[in-house]
Amino acid sequence: MYGKFGDAETATAVFERMPVRSVSSWNAMVSLYARQGRMDFAVSLFDNMEERSIVSWNAVIAGYNQNGLDNMALKFFSRMLSDSFMEPDAFTVTSVLSACANLRMLKTGKQMHSYILRKRMPRSSQIINALISTYAKSGSVETARRIMDQAVISDLNVISFTALLEGYVKLGDMKQAREIFEVMNNRDVIAWTAMIVGYQQNGQNDEAVKLFRSMIKSGPEPNSYTLAAILSACASLACLDYGEQIHCKAIRSLQEQSVSVSNAIITMYARSGSVPLARRVFDQICCRKETVTWTSMIVALAQHGLGEEAVGLFEEMLCVGVKPDCITYIGVFSACTHAGFVDKGKRYYDQMQNEHGIVPEMSHYACMVDLLARAGLLTEAHEFIQRMPVMPDAIVWGSLLSACRVRKNADLAELAVEKLLLVDPGNSGAYSALANVYSACGRWNDAARIWKLRKDKAVKKETGFSWTQCAQQGSRLWSRRCTASTKGCNLQEGC
């Protein structure tokens, strides 16, 4: 009785006074400690049991699984198979499949599925849901879908539906994800958030905003993950009015204190062009500034050409003992580029590796090439590229090429274009940039030759567009036409 109510102290006292302890009493104590996350006590009691039942093994396996110790759950299951004559039952299988799902262990999950089929175990709702979650989380989404299609809808729970939904989201198949979402009867906040995050991560920010409005009207209360995702969508759309309303909602629901939400607010204001508001939010975060918070503000300042201020903030970040990450340094290198701080940029590049142990990635190499090239150090930038331990990508060569036009260096521009087209043969910007370099050098015939070469190879320039707010309606303006996009800034009705 005391064990069921979680009173471990009283339950232990009663258990120790028992003259004869049955297997069920041992199991009750093991389950009690496992539910409370005290797995060392649970396993110690289990090891002292003279007689064990399948319930005893299940209590420990489920305890490990429910406390996030999935590897231990699988190890204990292996011990059960080798040290006892117990056969797994439905509860064992469900816990093991849950551990496989969390660890994305498809092979072990398939072995458990085979065991279920060999033993002809009843296809209970628990087992069906566990199988769907295992396959969906492990990347075998179509298998999960087949199991779901063969099941009775009433047997399926929101966890398996959400796992399958998230599986389709990871594949970028938002149409199938939406189909799963629509057939769910009791959508919880996790399902709504997974769908909104999916739209946002796959670039369908309009759909994310529409779905969020539906959630406000008829769904559950958004949590911090939901708000962070929709703020990111607003940032991508540069929809300041709507983003401000989400900010207000975060304040009212006391979720502005969440690190993910506050960082998303900073990014939203920065991308919408309101750097002062972003800085105000940043300054209001007193003791909760994490690496990602500092990084968001540094990147925001760098993107708006406030390089000196961004570098100053980075120095402040180091002074208070916050360790930068690889993204922080991308923002810092960008800031140094805009501010013309070549020597500082070089020093930070060495600092990143020697003091913080961060191995440079392609984005860091591209930033350094851009820093050197924009400063007119084209030869040094080219030598930096030659020393790179990885093959330069189109962005690296593009950074060098852009600077060649300003410095009228046709020879290096030709080399950069040659290398760039090897990496990205369809890059129309390479032809345009080289032609512009020739034009800047007065080599009109060479410029005409490049324009003709691009035309002969049928390389098409990608259509540019920009966002604007017109009559309270977000619109995407193409070079020759305008298509309506994000409607609205009102949480429920639209602008």
Identify the pLDDT of residue 440. 87
pLDDT in tens, 93-134: 999 999 999 999 999 999 999 999 998 998 889 999 999 999
pLDDT above 90: percentage of residues in the chain: 64
Only one residue has tokens 């360790």, namely 323
Q: Is 28 a member of any domain?
A: no
455 and 391 within one domain: yes
Cβ atoms within 10 Å, residue 273: 12
Helix (H, G, I), strand (E, B) or coil at 478: strand
455 and 397 fall within a common domain: yes
Would you place residue 3 in the very low, low, confident or very high pLDDT band (cuts 50, 70, 90)? very low
**Whole-number Å distance between alpha carbons of 338 and 298:** 13
State mean pLDDT over 193-197: 95
Q: pLDDT class for 307, splitting at 50, 70, 90?
A: very high
How is residue 216 written in tokens? Answer: 């406000």
Closest CA to 261 of 170, 253, 323: 253
* Alpha carbons 291 and 264: distance in angstroms, whole number: 14
Give the whole-angstrom CA distance, residue 358 versus residue 127: 44
Q: How far apart are CA 60 and CA 71, in angstroms?
A: 13
Residue 181, H or E segment: helix 174-183
Statement: residue 480 has pLDDT above 50: no
378 and 329 inside one domain: no
Question: Could you report the per-residue pLDDT of 388-404, keeping only the tens digit for each?
Answer: 999 999 999 999 999 99
Q: Is residue 326 in a domain?
A: yes
pLDDT band at 463 (very low <50, low <70, confident <90, very high): low
438 inside domain: yes
Where does a domain end: 308, 326, 348?
348
Closest CA to 291 of 271, 263, 265, 312: 263
Q: What is the pLDDT of residue 152?
A: 81
Query: Is a pLDDT exceeding 80 seen at residue 478?
Result: no
For the entire predicted model, the pTM comes to 0.76
In this structure, the number of other CB atoms found within 10 A of the CB of residue 26 comes to: 22
Residue 242 within any structural domain of the chain? no
CATH at 403: 1.25.40.10
Cβ-contact 328, 318 below 8 angstroms: no
Asked if 196 and 230 touch (Cβ cutoff 8 Å), the reply is yes
The reply to whether 344 and 430 lie within a common domain is: no
Count the neighbouring beta carbons within 10 Å of the beta carbon of residue 254: 9
Cα–Cα dist 181/162, whole Å: 8
HSE of 176 in the Cβ direction (CA atoms, 13 Å)? Answer: 17
Can you count the helices (H) and strands (E) in the chain? 27, 3
319 and 370 share one domain: no
**Whether pLDDT at 407 is above 60:** yes
Quote the percentage of the chain above a pLDDT of 70.
Answer: 90
284 compared with 332, residue with greater pLDDT = 332
In a domain, 404, yes or no: yes
* Contact between 158 and 187 (Cβ < 8 Å): yes
Is 339 in the same domain as 422? no
The pLDDT, as a whole number, for residue 494 is 44
- CA pair distance 456, 471, nearest whole angstrom: 43
The answer to whether 358 touches 326, Cβ cutoff 8 Å, is yes
Helix (H, G, I), strand (E, B) or coil at 236: helix
Same domain? For 313 and 391 the reply is no
User: What does the pLDDT read at residue 77?
Assistant: 95
- In the predicted model, is pLDDT for residue 310 greater than 70? yes
Helix axes 39-48, 23-35, angle to 10 degrees: 160
- Answer whether residue 170 is part of any domain: no
Residues 335 and 382 in one domain: no
By mean pLDDT, which of 28-32, 55-59, 230-234 is the weakest? 28-32
Q: pLDDT of 433-456, one tens digit each? A: 899 999 988 899 988 998 888 887
Residue that is last in its domain, among 348, 369, 388? 348
What average pLDDT is seen over the chain?
88
CB atoms within 10 A of CB 361: 13
C-alpha to C-alpha distance for 324 and 317, rounded to whole angstroms: 8
Quickly state the pLDDT bin for 14 (edges 50, 70, 90). low
Where in the sequence is the domain holding 392, given as residue range(s)? 360-462
In terms of domains, do 364 and 444 share one?
yes
Cα angle vertex 272, ends 271, 273, to 5°? Answer: 90
Letter string b/e over residues 120-146, b meaning 16 or more CB atoms within 10 A of that residue's CB: eeebeebbbbbbbbbbbbbebbebbbe
Same domain, 394 and 369: yes
What pLDDT score was predicted for residue 481? 37
Block residue for tokens 């805009």: 338
CA–CA gap between residue 199 and residue 190 (Å, rounded) = 14
Residues 304 and 392 in one domain: no
40 pLDDT band, cuts 50/70/90, is very high
Phi first, then psi: give them for residue 467, nearest 5 degrees.
-100, 150
In total, how many domains does the chain have?
2
- Contact (Cβ atoms closer than 8 angstroms) between residue 61 and residue 71: no
Burial class (CB in 10 A: 0-12, 13-18, 19+), 220: middle
**Claim to verify: residue 382 and residue 438 sit in the same structural domain:** yes
Could you tell me if residue 240 is left (phi over 0), alpha (psi between -120 and 50 degrees) or otherwise beta?
Answer: alpha
**Residue 215 is assigned to a structural domain of this protein:** no
Q: Does some domain include residue 441?
A: yes
Sheet holding 473-478, edge to edge: 465-470, 473-478, 482-487
Instruction: Return the minimum-mean-pLDDT range out of 93-102, 258-267, 359-368.
Output: 258-267
